[in-house]
């Protein structure tokens, strides 16, 4: 039924466009192709939503003292998300264009009997980068910690319009502005998250991402603008960003996780200007989700304990499902992330603990070897050694994935602290090492360190760098 109506709509609209429009025939046919693709996809996901209706539900745990930031939210799905967040006793910060509409929400919800939670409203036009920066600054000045960021605001289809910053409106509203906002609020999200209860970033995407491609050569679609194509691009971009950011945060051991959500086909104002709503206005109210049911997957991604530690996932009807192959493409994720950083002229630096640890251990050997050389030249009776005690079963492993290995397995493969102490004592007391300073000890024997650690030029460069850090002019009379 839905597909039949859609075909009639598309064919009729195409015929009228050919007769009346000044657009090239090639563009008209391309637009018709996307209309048909959206109709086919819409019918599939409409049936999917109906079949998954019983699974599209989530609990509303009490989260007193928590703070959520949401973009948009004065109508449609976002309005229902805010209502559900208030029921969980969450303080909700709304970023919207019309402040008065946002401020009217709390009295309205209080009249409906929702006595928990609170609302703060700040002006935000997510498509304007300067507005995003001002909004983020206001939020950060009032709230040191943020528990949830819900990138909800969005537009769909419409005529070609560029934002104040010169970007196609769907790209700037649905993706680019939210990328910048996430970047600006990320330090506050990191402060709030803990190992057992991570902060969460939710990007409200769409099943339309399946048809999306990222046109890096013409991100604004100026050469050929097809509303459905631009919308799909923006929704794919959200998922690519979500997945890549989540991986970066995991590598950093940051207590923040990222999810992307398809809320379903929801009867909201987004469909008002579509051909389907014009020809069959009764169809959405009959077959689509209500805004409240569209809000459930977003709340689930935001609050469900089932998803704890499972960032980088795509949520549909409160279930984790695979996104498209293109959305899961790691190379494409990295390319878009770097591309977006250049657009916004920002630099994101993520701390990777393993790299930091390796750097510190290399530094120790560089220091040991260079200091020993200085002492030999000075004819001092002091020698310096570097020691690798082995992989030891100690508390230091708790912050590493090794710590998740069962104890009986660690006992079998790892050294005990006593065994780890033997190489250290060997370096300290053994007569075999007399006058053999500047060496690297492993398994109570002298071993060659890495080429980098043995690099004399690097040793001196790092030694001088370290002295400057601690403002020491000289470490030896020979310098």
Q: Helices in 304-416 by DSSP H: which ranges? A: 330-344, 353-377, 407-413
Element (H, E) at 69: strand 67-71
3-state secondary structure at position 98: coil
Nearest one of 154, 73, 80 to 120, comparing CA atoms: 73
- Determine contact, residues 446/387, Cβ cutoff 8 Å: no
| DSSP 8-state code for residue 174 | I
The tokens for 343 are 């657009």
What is the Cα–Cα distance from 297 to 55, expressed in whole angstroms?
Answer: 10
Q: Which of 45, 175, 231, 440 is catalytic?
A: 231
Collect all residues with Cβ–Cβ distance below 8 Å to 317 and sequence separation of at least 6: 48, 49, 52, 53, 55, 56, 264, 297
Collect all residues with Cβ–Cβ distance below 8 Å to 47 and sequence separation of at least 6: none
Taking the C-alpha atoms of 346, 239, 80 and 272 in order, what is their torsion angle to the nearest 10 degrees? 100
Annotation marks residue 231 as catalytic: yes
**Helix axes of 25-51 and 2-20: crossing angle, nearest 10 degrees:** 160
The tokens for 118 are 């609170």
What is the Cα–Cα distance from 139 to 335, expressed in whole angstroms?
Answer: 30
What is the Cα–Cα distance from 243 to 334, expressed in whole angstroms?
Answer: 10
Apex 132 CA angle, 129 and 136, nearest 5 = 145
Collect all residues with Cβ–Cβ distance below 8 Å to 227 and sequence separation of at least 6: 31, 34, 157, 158, 159, 170
Please list the active-site residues.
231
């Amino acid at each position: 039924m839905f597909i039949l109506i859609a075909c009639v709509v598309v064919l009729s609209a195409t015929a009228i466009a050919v007769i009346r429009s000044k657009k090239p025939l090639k563009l008209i046919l391309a637009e018709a192709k996307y209309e048909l693709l959206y109709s086919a996809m819409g019918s599939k996901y409409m049936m999917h939503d109906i079949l998954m209706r019983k699974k599209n539900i989530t609990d509303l745990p009490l989260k007193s003292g928590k703070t959520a930031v949401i973009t948009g939210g004065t109508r449609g799905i976002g309005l229902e998300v805010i209502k559900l967040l208030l029921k969980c006793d969450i303080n909700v910060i709304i970023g919207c264009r019309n402040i008065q509409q946002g401020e009217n929400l709390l009295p309205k919800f209080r009249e409906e009997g929702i006595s928990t939670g609170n609302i703060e409203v700040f002006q935000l036009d997510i498509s304007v980068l300067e507005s995003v920066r001002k909004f983020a600054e206001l939020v950060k000045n009032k709230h040191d910690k943020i528990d949830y960021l819900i990138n909800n605001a969005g537009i769909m289809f419409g005529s070609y319009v560029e934002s104040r910053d010169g970007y196609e409106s769907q790209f700037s509203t649905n993706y680019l502005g939210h990328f910048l906002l996430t970047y600006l609020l990320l330090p506050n999200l990191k402060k709030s998250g803990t190992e057992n209860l991570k902060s969460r970033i939710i990007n409200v995407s769409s099943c339309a991402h399946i048809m999306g491609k990222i046109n890096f050569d013409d991100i604004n679609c100026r050469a050929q603008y097809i509303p459905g194509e631009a919308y799909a691009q923006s929704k794919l971009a959200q998922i690519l960003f979500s997945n890549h950011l989540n991986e970066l945060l995991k590598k950093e051991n940051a207590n923040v996780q990222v999810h992307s959500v398809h809320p379903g086909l929801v009867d909201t104002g987004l469909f008002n200007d579509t051909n389907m709503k014009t020809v069959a206005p009764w169809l959405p109210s009959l077959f689509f989700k209500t805004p409240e049911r569209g809000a459930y997957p977003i709340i689930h991604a935001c609050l469900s304990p089932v998803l704890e530690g499972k960032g980088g996932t795509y949520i549909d009807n409160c279930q984790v499902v695979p996104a498209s192959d293109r959305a899961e493409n790691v190379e494409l994720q990295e390319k878009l992330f770097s591309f977006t950083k250049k657009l916004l002229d920002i630099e994101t630096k993520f701390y990777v603990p393993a790299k930091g640890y390796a750097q510190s251990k290399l530094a120790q050997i560089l220091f040991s070897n260079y200091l020993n050389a200085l002492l030999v030249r000075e004819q001092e009776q002091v020698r310096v050694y570097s020691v690798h005690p082995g992989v030891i079963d100690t508390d230091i492993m708790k912050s590493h994935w090794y710590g998740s290995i069962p104890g009986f397995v660690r006992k079998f493969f790892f050294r005990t602290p006593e065994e780890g102490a033997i190489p250290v004592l060997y370096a300290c007391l053994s007569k075999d090492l007399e006058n053999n300073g500047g060496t690297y000890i492993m398994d109570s024997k002298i071993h060659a360190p890495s080429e980098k650690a043995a690099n004399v030029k690097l040793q001196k460069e790092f030694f001088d760098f370290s002295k400057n850090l601690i403002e020491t002019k000289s470490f030896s009379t020979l310098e």
